[in-house]
Amino acid sequence: MTVPVMPLEFADAREAADLAAFLVRLLHYDRAAAVRLQASGDALAVFGRPPSFEVLAIRTARLTGRHDFDITVSAGELLESLGTFDTEGGASAGPLPAAVTGPPWAGVLPPRGGWREVPGLPDPVSLRQAVTTAVAEFRSRDEVLPEARRTRTERDLIGREIWSRTIGATGLPLRAVHAALSLGFLRPAPDFPIALLAAGSWMRLRTPFGSIALRGHGSGLGGAIAVSVTAG
């Protein structure tokens, strides 16, 4: 029996191109990455988990027509289905990849509603500078390690100490900002509204290019904090 292929047609080719760029970044950290797709109406959310940050990362895009599906697929196959884009406009279409067995993280997502704004978040320039400073500190501390202590374990300890620091009094860990920057969500832009939101045990750093939601201990995603990224 032939299984019908579901078309995945985007309303805006530029959004499809942004999604492809996100998938490229995700595959940089994990060549075998899987992504969970959730479609409701004309909105598509794509969740991934780059292991270097222990994060759930999401990009959103608008689809043509009305859709209702929730499926986990190969990130590489989804990228291939997106193909090339006419960024001057027009829809971009490709087949929806076949479903794969979802990894454990795919069952743990942030809530869709109930978010409230948390005050005290620095501006995007300050956030990017905080990451730059932290990277420089990590490199300097790594360089002065004695040869006997120059191990992966020792470096991981330094990294966890640095990236677990919080931003001001917000409770947002620095590694969440690092993830946002690395995934392309803290790009310079003339109009760049960002906000920090909270819902239950989750925190969410929202930007026009994506957002990062953090959950505390017991998240099931590994590490002390789990991160997800959603656009808009």
Q: What is the pLDDT, as a whole number, of residue 60?
A: 87
- In the chain, residues under CATH classification 3.10.150 are 7-107
Distance of CA 68 to the CA centre of its chain: 22
Where are any strands of DSSP class E within the chain?
7-10, 34-48, 55-74, 92-95, 116-118, 195-199, 202-207, 210-215, 226-229
Q: How confident is the model at residue 128 (pLDDT cuts 50, 70, 90)?
A: very high
List, in order, residues 6 or more apart from 91 with CB less than 8 Å away.
9, 10, 11, 12, 13, 64
State whether residue 162 is helix, strand or coil.
helix
Task: Average the pLDDT over each of 42-51, 80-89, 124-133, 198-207 and give the range with the smallest value.
Answer: 80-89
Asked if residue 34 has pLDDT above 90, the reply is yes
Q: Angle of helix 152-163 relative to helix 174-182, nearest 10 degrees?
A: 100
The CATH code of domain 7-107 reads 3.10.150
Q: Which of 75, 77, 76, 93 is nearest to 85 (CA)?
A: 93
β partners of residue 47: 36, 58
Question: pTM for the whole thing?
Answer: 0.82
Average pLDDT over residues 3-11: 72
State whether residue 134 is helix, strand or coil.
helix
Q: What is the pLDDT, as a whole number, of residue 9?
A: 87
